[in-house]
Amino acid sequence: MTPIMGLQLLLVAAGAIAVAAVARRRGWPAPLLLVAAGLLVSPLVPEVPLEPELVLYVFLPPLLYSAALDSSYLRLRDVRQAVGLLSVGLVLFTTAVVGLLVHLMLPDLPLALAFALGAVIAPPDAVAAVAVGRRLGLPRRALTILIGESLFNDATALTLYRVAIGAALGGAVSVWEGLGEFVFAAAGGVVIGLVLAVALAWLFQRTRDSLVENTLMLLIPFAAYLAAESVHASGVIAVVVVGLYLGNRMHLRGFGTRLVSDAVWKVTDFFLEAVVFALIGLQLVTVVKGIAGYGPWEVAGYAAAVLAVSIAARFAWMFGRTFVLKVLGRTRPTAAETVILGWAGMRGVVSLAAAFAIPPEVPARDRALLLFLTFTTVIGTLLIQGTTFPALIRRLRVSSEQERYEDRLAEAAAQQAALEAGLAELDRLVGEQEGEPDQIQKQVIDQLREKSWRRSLTAWERLGGGTGPGGAETPSALYRRLRRDMLQAERQVFVRLRDERRLDDEVLREVMAQLDFEEAILER
């Protein structure tokens, strides 16, 4: 990488973070604002190349790993049929439909390249949809399906893409050979992911060092991806399997590892997603320049047709699946869930990176057209579906309010059970002591009992929305508010003593960390 390219990426990153910060402050979907900002400034700035290797080997693995780490293996297992039909079945269906359409519109384009385009734009990226859905209270099942689909569909699409490109470049690839490659890629990814996951879990049990464990976690997605891709297996599946396995066992790690991990991956996700979506918009000039040989209305017609068919194929698959489930007499999703999942097919940077990765052996004219059609589909789905997705959720009146109430009820019951277990353990420990506890020990024991009761009480209070009768503050809310004000006053004293040189900076950092942890507990 040259210094100029490094400076360009640095400026892109700084601008992307600024735009994402504005989006967070305003409560807007950051991915959509970043894409729009990239489109607006693209004609005004030097071209910023989107390197496929940068996306597939640097951006994609940590984003996949973080999403898998934060996902629920148990919830994904509950919706595995829906996820499998979307991440495999729908990708195959979209590839076939788009490929046939493009071949009909452009008969001079080789059929293998038409199917390569279908594979490129088949997998949606659920980042924008999940961000909007979480903010508007989309039900957990729908969110889980979207997350699960985005975790696995790239593996299907990239495998189909490799087969189609191989056929386009002169390699005779039969259906059975393509199927065999797909099965090998999927199975190889699972095996490599499981082997790495088990080995890493064994290693983490013996480190017991939050700093070391989280540093290793930063390397895991790259190691899993490279290990799988080096033997032509699916790096995507390998990364997802490792993330799901370790995420499901995160309770076995120390509290320090969990606290640091949560912060590390939130920062990583924020940074990488901001840069990725900004880079999508910044490709406008590069993409348009490549189709100079086509008439503007001609390529606009091609782009509109591919975009429309990509959206329609997802709806056809979703409602077709619902109809089949109805005929078979099985539980089927509601009409509202089907519509929402159908409209959540926004494409992302993986599609664009795959299009940029089309080998130079493909004729330049064909390559430029495929890149343009991919770009317009990605931008079209993000701006059309992304901007209307919140209104659709509100219009259908889909809400997770009942789920949130059930969660609070389950939490309160679990807190009560945990309280009883904790107090029983306290009584056992006190009973094992020789002699009666003295006055100081009694005070400590009473404080432990009071703290346990307060935490349990807080969970029950949340069932009422955090307010008491008549909208008054609950005891826990009052405690948190007053304690936060006290902590702020204590911080000011420590800082004043540091400024007066009566307290060293190292001591200040230690006591500030203690106060910060206490405030974090109050916020949680």
Query: What pLDDT is attached to residue 229?
Result: 94
Q: What angle do CA 512, 513, 518 make, to 5 degrees?
A: 95
Which among 78, 138, 133, 146 is positioned nearest to 402, based on CA atoms? 138
Query: What pLDDT is attached to residue 315?
Result: 95
Query: What pLDDT is attached to residue 462?
Result: 67
Query: What pLDDT is attached to residue 230?
Result: 95
**Which residues of the chain fall short of a pLDDT of 70?**
1, 171-175, 400-401, 457, 459-472, 524
How big is the chain, counted in residues? 524
Note the pLDDT tens digit of each residue in 134-193.
Answer: 777 788 888 899 999 999 999 999 989 988 988 888 765 666 777 888 889 999 999 999
Residue 473 bridge partners (DSSP): 467
How far, in Å, are 36, 135, 400 from residue 27 at the CA level?
A: 16, 9, 19
Contact of 463 with 405, CB cutoff 8 Å: yes
Query: What pLDDT is attached to residue 133?
Result: 78
Burial class (CB in 10 A: 0-12, 13-18, 19+), 352: buried
Query: What pLDDT is attached to residue 322?
Result: 87
Q: Distance between CA atoms of 152 and 123, rounded to whole angstroms?
A: 9
The residue type found at 519 is E
Query: What pLDDT is attached to residue 466?
Result: 55
Q: Distance between CA atoms of 139 and 130, rounded to whole angstroms?
A: 11
For 119, the token pair is: 């594979």
Note the pLDDT tens digit of each residue in 68-122.
Answer: 998 888 889 999 999 999 999 999 999 999 999 999 999 999 999 999 999 999 9
How far, in Å, are 55, 300, 343 from residue 307 at the CA level?
A: 23, 10, 13
The H or E element containing residue 460 is helix 439-462
Query: What pLDDT is attached to residue 426?
Result: 84
